[in-house]
Amino acid sequence: MTATTPLSQHIFCLLFALLLVILPCYAVAAPIIPAAPTITADSYLLIDFHSGQSLSERDADKRLEPASLTKMMTAHILFEELKENNIELDDLVTISKKAWKMKGSRTFVEVGKKIPVKTLLMGLIVQSGNDATVALAEYIAGSEEVFAAVMNQRAQELGMSNTHFVNSTGMPHKDHYSTARDLSILARSTIEHFPELYKWYKIKEYTYNSISQRNRNTLLWRDETVDGFKTGHTESAGYGLVASAQRDKMRLISIVMGVKTKNTRATESQKLLNYGFRFYETHLLYSKKEAIQQIRIWKGTTEQLPIGIADNLYVTIPKGTYEQLKPEISLPATVIAPVHSDQELGTLQIKLAGEQLDHRPLIALQTIEEGSMISRLIDDMMLLFE
């Protein structure tokens, strides 16, 4: 550029250079998501089913009375018994006097009558019948007290660390409690492991003994993408609702506890679900045991080793930010045979705008045995130059 170059060209060049510095900064800026709606509840949580990521929450670990949300665990154990072929849907259950006398919501089963497991499960899931619930608990464990111990054991296995059950129905007791987060764990497990039986939670009405009762989850009528889960209510617990909805391939689970009215629990749950679907998206980044990369392995029977992760990796991110995701792989400088399948070799981190969303161990996807003496000597020589 000569001394006679106009001043405007100098200014243009300076501005252009400045833009080259500034624009990349904006490209990786943290996405802006509107604040979640205000929810009227003692505790609430919104999570993505696949990634498990929390999208909005308040006091999600606060121990509260779950009321009939308890029946989610009762049904979960029944589903397990069915899956393991320990019981059958057409097994006949004799109704005890205790079950028949249960207060609160009822299926109206009669003492001494033999009722199929399927009928009682419908009474539990659709009608929230305390009588049907106790009858099933007694059939599985002999007594409701023993069944409660089974419930607590399963809760521990699932990682529900702030939950303790005293009964199968959710009737009030000072030592009977759970949390929104623990209930989300239970909901995810039910959908994942018993998808066909979970569909029963979508049934809107069930008739037994000439008495028709509607499912208390009114979101089944308000939102066609809502396909299940459970309501709860006692005077001391207030109203609660666990709801799940799927739109396209994204599934969300909302939990509200300690709500003042039946209508409010549905309205607040709908707010959470709409917020999550409107502003977030979920992606499967890597599948279980999918080869993410081939790496050089030395002194083995082959030179290439596929690596991946043990389980599917989903991320839930603000809409429109998929292109900003950044995977970072960390591996040792040298990998030497033998290596066995599933052996941890490094780590995979997923970042968005500099923030870590997830990290997983990288594992070998196949076993590589030690190579011959000659091949090992050759690799020793090559490693000297590496």
Instruction: Give whole-number Cα distances, 294 to 41, 286, 297, in Å.
Output: 50, 15, 9
- Segment 361-368 shows an average pLDDT of 95
Q: Does position 3 have pLDDT exceeding 70, yes or no?
A: no
Residue 54 CA to its chain's centroid (Å): 9
Per-residue model confidence as pLDDT tens digits over 247-273:
999 999 999 999 999 999 999 999 999
How far is residue 325's CA from residue 316's CA, in Å, rounded to a whole number?
11
Q: What is the pLDDT of residue 32?
A: 74
- Is the pLDDT higher at 170 or at 376? 170
**Residue 307's closest CA among 348, 352, 363, 237?**
363
Pairing of strands 92-94, 250-259: unpaired
**Confidence class for position 29, pLDDT limits 50, 70, 90:** low
Cα dihedral angle (317, 318, 320, 321), rounded to 10 degrees?
A: -50
- Segment 107-133 shows an average pLDDT of 97
- Segment 200-214 shows an average pLDDT of 95
103 tagged catalytic: no
The percentage of residues in the chain with a pLDDT greater than 90, rounded to a whole number, is 83
Q: Does position 350 have pLDDT exceeding 50, yes or no?
A: yes
Instruction: Give whole-number Cα distances, 250 to 118, 201, 370, in Å.
Output: 30, 19, 44
- Give helix 144-158 / helix 180-193 axis angle, nearest 10°: 90
- Poorest-confidence range of 26-35, 45-54, 215-224? 26-35
pTM summary value: 0.87
Q: What is the pLDDT of residue 139?
A: 98
Q: What is the pLDDT of residue 27?
A: 47
330 tagged catalytic: no
How far is residue 375's CA from residue 18's CA, in Å, rounded to a whole number?
55
- Segment 185-209 shows an average pLDDT of 97
Domain annotation for the chain: domains and CATH numbers:
43-279 (3.40.710.10), 287-385 (2.60.410.10)
DSSP class of 382: H
- Segment 329-338 shows an average pLDDT of 92
Most distant CA atoms of the chain, gap in Å: 107
Q: Does position 364 have pLDDT exceeding 50, yes or no?
A: yes
Q: Does position 105 have pLDDT exceeding 80, yes or no?
A: yes
249 tagged catalytic: no
Q: What is the pLDDT of residue 22?
A: 46
Q: Which one-letter amino acid corresponds to residue 384?
A: L
* Burial per residue of 292-308, b for 16 or more beta-carbon CB atoms within 10 angstroms, e otherwise: beebebbbbeebebebb
- Segment 334-358 shows an average pLDDT of 93
**Confidence class for position 16, pLDDT limits 50, 70, 90:** very low
**Confidence class for position 71, pLDDT limits 50, 70, 90:** very high
Q: What is the pLDDT of residue 378?
A: 81
Residue labelled with tokens 């923030």:
355
How far is residue 200's CA from residue 82's CA, in Å, rounded to a whole number?
14
Mean pLDDT over the full length of the chain: 91
Q: What is the pLDDT of residue 6?
A: 52
- Segment 165-185 shows an average pLDDT of 98
How far is residue 72's CA from residue 190's CA, in Å, rounded to a whole number?
9
Q: What is the pLDDT of residue 21?
A: 46
Q: What is the pLDDT of residue 148?
A: 98
How far is residue 80's CA from residue 197's CA, in Å, rounded to a whole number?
10
Contact 160, 222 (CB under 8 A): no
Given 71, 230, 271, 299, the catalytic residue: 71
